[in-house]
Amino acid sequence: MTAVDVTEHESWFHRNQQRIAPWLFLAPGVLFFMVYVIIPVFQSFNLSLYEWDGLGAAEYVGMRNYEDLYWEWVDRDAFYVSLKNNLIWLVMYLLAIPAGLFIALFLNQTVWGIRLYKSLFFFPFVISQVVVGLVFTWFYDPTFGLLNEFLSWFGLGPVNVLGDERFVTYGIIFAGLWPQTAYCMILYLTGLNAVDPEQIEAGRLDGAKGGRMLWHIILPQLRPATFIAFVVTIIGALRSFDLISIMTQGGPFGSSRVLAYYMFEVALSEYGFRMGYGAAIAVVLFLIMLCFIAYFLWSMYREEKGH
C-alpha cells in the first residue's frame, strides 16, 4: 500500500465520518441484540407451527398447536387456568403502585434516622426472587410459618395457603408484591422530593389538604413516577416465573400456573420436550405483552416528538 492510498482512504473516512461513525458505534450492540433477542422472537413464531422434541426432525403441523391450546386437547385445564391466573397477576400486582405511594408518603419526613428507614424499606427489592420465594414459602408453612403463628393468636385455624387451590395464586402474588411495592415506593420517594413546594403552599392557602391536596396537586406532579411504576409492574406481572417455580412449581394440580411457567413446563421440564407447543404458548404470552409494549412505545414516541 502506498502513502497516497492511505491519505485518500483517510480523507474519505474523514469527510464522511459523521455519517459512518454512528453505525460503527451501533454495530456490536445491534448485532448482539439481533442474534439473541430480535431473531429468536421470529424463530419462536416459526417454531410454533411445528411439532418438535428438541432432538429429531421437526414436523410442520400448521396451526395445530394453537388449536390444541384453544380446545385444551393436550393438557386439560392448563391453558385457561394459566390465562386466568395471568389476569389475576396483572390486576393484583398493580396494587404495588398505591401501596408504594402509601409507604412513600409515610416515609417522606425528615426525622432522625429516616434515611436508614428508607433503605431498609427498599431492601426487599434487592433480594433475588428465589430467596423471596423461599422466605414466603416458610412464612406460609402450615406447621411453623409466621402467618399461622399469627392467625393462631386470634384462634384461627392453620391455613395451608400454598396447598389450597383457592388461595395459592394470591399467596404467591402477595409474596411478589413485597419487592414490587418497595420499587414503587422508591420511585415515589424520588418523585415527592421533586414536587414543587410553591404549588403546595399555594394549595395550602386555598385550603386544600390531605386527600384533596394529594389528588389535585401532588399526583399530577408524580405522573412520570407513576408511568414508570406502571410499566415495571405490568412487565413484572407478566414475567412472573421465579416465585411460582420456587414456591409451588405450578401446583397444587396446576392451579397456580401462569403462561410463563406453563410454557417452561411444556418445553423443558420433566413433562416432556414439546418445543413447538411451548413456542405457541410463548407466542400467546408475547401477543399479550405486545399490547402493553405498543402502548409504552407510543407514550415514549409522543414524549420524543414533544421535545
Partner 1 sequence: MFPKPIEKQPRAAQISYQALLPVALLLWLGPLLAVALFSIKPEADFTNANYWGLPSSFEGARNYGQVFFNSDMPRYLLNSFLITVPTVIGAVALSCMTGFALGIYKFKSNLWIFFMFVAGNFVPFQILMVPVRDLTLDLGLYNTKTGLVLFHIAFQTGFCTLFMRNFIRALPFELIEAARVEGISEWRIFWCVVLPLMKPAIAALSVLIFTFIWNDYFWAVVLTQGAESQPVTAGITSFNAQFRAAYHLMSAGSIVAALPPVAMFFLMQKHFIAGLTLGAVK
Residues 203-232 that bind partner 1 (CB under 8 A): 209, 213-214, 217-218, 224-225, 228
Residue 106 binds to partner 1 (criterion: CB under 8 A): yes
Question: Of the listed pieces 65-73, 75-83, 102-110, 161-169, which binds partner 1 according to CB under 8 A?
Answer: 102-110
252 upstream amide cis, omega within 30 of 0: yes
State in angstroms the smallest separation of the CB of 4 from partner 1.
Answer: 21
Tell me the CB-side half-sphere exposure of residue 250, using CA atoms within 13 A: 20
State in angstroms the smallest separation of the CB of 129 from partner 1.
Answer: 6
Site residues for partner 1, 11-40, by CB under 8 A, read 14, 17-19, 21-23, 25-26, 28-30, 32-33, 35-40
Site residues for partner 1, 76-95, by CB under 8 A, read none
x/- letters, 37..76, toward partner 1 (CB under 8 A): xxxxx-xx--x------x----------------------
Query: Minimal CA–CA distance to 188: which of 251, 99, 256, 249?
Result: 99
In the bound state with partner 1, the residue whose beta carbon lies nearer, of 63 and 194, is 194
Please select the residue that binds partner 1; options are 12, 73, 80, 117, rule is CB under 8 A. 117
**CA distances from residue 70 to 66, 75, 254, 280 in whole angstroms, order as listed:** 6, 11, 17, 11
Any idea which residue has 398447536 for its cell?
65
In the bound state with partner 1, the residue whose beta carbon lies nearer, of 7 and 119, is 119
In the bound state with partner 1, the residue whose beta carbon lies nearer, of 166 and 305, is 305
Site residues for partner 1, 155-184, by CB under 8 A, read 178, 183
Burial class (CB in 10 A: 0-12, 13-18, 19+), 120: exposed
Please select the residue that binds partner 1; options are 1, 57, 111, 205, rule is CB under 8 A. 111
Residue 278 backbone dihedrals phi, psi, to 5 degrees: -60, -40
Site residues for partner 1, 273-302, by CB under 8 A, read 275, 278-279, 281-283, 285-286, 289, 292-293, 296-297, 300-301
State in angstroms the smallest separation of the CB of 91 from partner 1.
Answer: 18
Please select the residue that binds partner 1; options are 12, 123, 253, 271, rule is CB under 8 A. 123
State in angstroms the smallest separation of the CB of 266 from partner 1.
Answer: 10
State in angstroms the smallest separation of the CB of 165 from partner 1.
Answer: 23
